[in-house]
Amino acid sequence: MSFLSLQNISKRFGAAHAVRDLSLAVERGEFFGLLGPSGCGKTTTLRMIAGLEQPDTGSLALDGADITAYAPERRGFGMVFQNYALFPHLNVFENIAFGLRARRLANSEVTERVGNALALVQLPGYERRRVDELSGGQQQRVAIARAIAIEPALLLFDEPLSNLDVSLREETRAELRELVLRLGLTAVYVTHDQEEAFALCDRISLMNEGRIMQTGAPRELYERPTEIFVARFLGRNNIIMARRLSASDETPARFFTIDGGHTLLVPVQRSSSGLAPINKNSTISIRPEHISISKATGAEVAQEAASNTLSAKVRAINFSGATTTVRLDSDGLALEALVLELDTISVGDLCNVRLPPERISVLG
């Protein structure tokens, strides 16, 4: 049984569908991410988990108990907001103690928990500081301390690092993941930042237009996307229109590219056969860093059917410091490769380009 379960959740605001028939499961102790562009429904989903919004349809369960109708305070979740939501008229101690006092804890226990929370976020001795005396990073830590002080069953984050500068954001996210793991908490984290989600989360649901497009570990989403949106959203990708030539039980399957007219071998799982019916247009993809290039000599001939190696002409080379982007044209098929070193190849050169079959994904 999953620790947190959402079943067929939907939410509308007027005529606009914010969340559409969404289901997901979060395991105990998991750092789970909701990732997607602005307006995709991820914050609305988080607010429904928190009890700040009620779903129009569907249900939510925590550890097997239905909490759909529970008020936010009854759920006992901790939440960290994008704008921190600290009380400017209260000092650090009273901000952290707010939720504890609402639970009518003894003063001695309030003092102990506030002190422990500040120590965990590396702000010991800040109890009497005014909120407006703190930097943005320190305010964020106070907000996290307030959320963990109540010892929540579930910790919710709504883009908590988006207001920090880049260097502080990277430092804070490393500390945040370490803190959540050390305390053994379960967390749901909303962000539009792919790098942030990959650095923090054990698994991620990528959302678009109120729906979950794909759920999986960061590497799985990046290297094995199942949808065109996922492939495009998570970094650069070569999106190739192709037509499947081989029978449904043949693997690797043979695909004929619409541009360039090349035959490529692509591993296709039986469960994915519906994504690539025979003799109908399909979409395949491969990341630029998975394409290898070598300069062609007069004696070399690309053997595309045997090894997914194509002959191509270098159209552009863009140096970016640690990596170099090479744009290629293979008889009308535009490709992009990302390499660490490029010594002997120049613009206008003919080269051999290999697309490893195991690195190619079939998209829905």
Q: Is 210:54 a contact under the CB 8 Å cutoff?
A: no
Say what the pLDDT of residue 41 is.
96
Structure tokens at 195: 């790098």
CA–CA distance, 123 with 99 (Å, rounded to integer):
19
CA–CA distance, 352 with 329 (Å, rounded to integer):
11
Mapped to the 3 state alphabet, what secondary structure does 222-263 carry? HHCCCCHHHHHHCCCCEEEEEEECCCCCCCCEEEEECCCCCE
pLDDT by residue, tens only, the chain of 364 residues: 899 999 999 999 999 999 999 999 999 999 999 999 999 999 999 999 999 999 999 999 999 999 999 999 899 899 988 887 888 998 999 999 998 888 888 999 999 999 988 988 888 988 899 988 888 888 888 998 999 898 899 999 999 888 777 877 888 888 888 888 988 999 999 999 999 999 999 999 999 999 999 999 999 999 999 999 999 999 899 999 999 887 766 778 899 999 999 999 998 875 455 567 787 889 999 999 999 998 876 545 555 555 799 999 999 999 888 899 999 999 999 999 999 887 788 999 999 999 999 999 998 7
What distance separates the 2 farthest-apart alpha carbons in the chain?
Answer: 84
pLDDT single digits (tens) 145-193: 999 898 899 999 999 888 777 877 888 888 888 888 988 999 999 999 9
Strands of the chain, DSSP E: 4-13, 16-26, 31-35, 57-62, 65-66, 78-80, 155-158, 187-191, 203-208, 211-216, 238-244, 253-257, 263-266, 281-286, 292-295, 309-319, 324-330, 333-339, 350-354, 361-363
Say what the pLDDT of residue 252 is.
82
CA–CA distance, 285 with 153 (Å, rounded to integer):
40
Nearest to 49 by CA among 11, 75, 83, 28: 75
Kindly report whether the peptide bond that precedes residue 252 is cis, defined as omega within 30 degrees of 0: yes
Q: Which residues does 57 contact at the CB level (< 8 Å), separation at least 6?
A: 8, 9, 10, 21
Say what the pLDDT of residue 300 is.
54
Say what the pLDDT of residue 189 is.
96
Q: How is domain 4-223 classified at the architecture level of CATH?
A: 3-Layer(aba) Sandwich (3.40)
CA–CA distance, 242 with 328 (Å, rounded to integer):
18
Q: Which residues does 324 contact at the CB level (< 8 Å), separation at least 6?
A: 317, 318, 338, 339, 340, 341, 342
Say what the pLDDT of residue 249 is.
66
Q: Are strands 361-363 and 309-319 parallel, antiparallel or unpaired?
A: unpaired
Query: 236-285, what's its fold?
Result: OB fold (Dihydrolipoamide Acetyltransferase, E2P) (2.40.50)
Query: 288-357, what's its fold?
Result: OB fold (Dihydrolipoamide Acetyltransferase, E2P) (2.40.50)
Say what the pLDDT of residue 279 is.
78
Q: Where in the chain is the domain with CATH 2.40.50.100?
A: 288-357
Q: Where in the chain is the domain with CATH 3.40.50.300?
A: 4-223
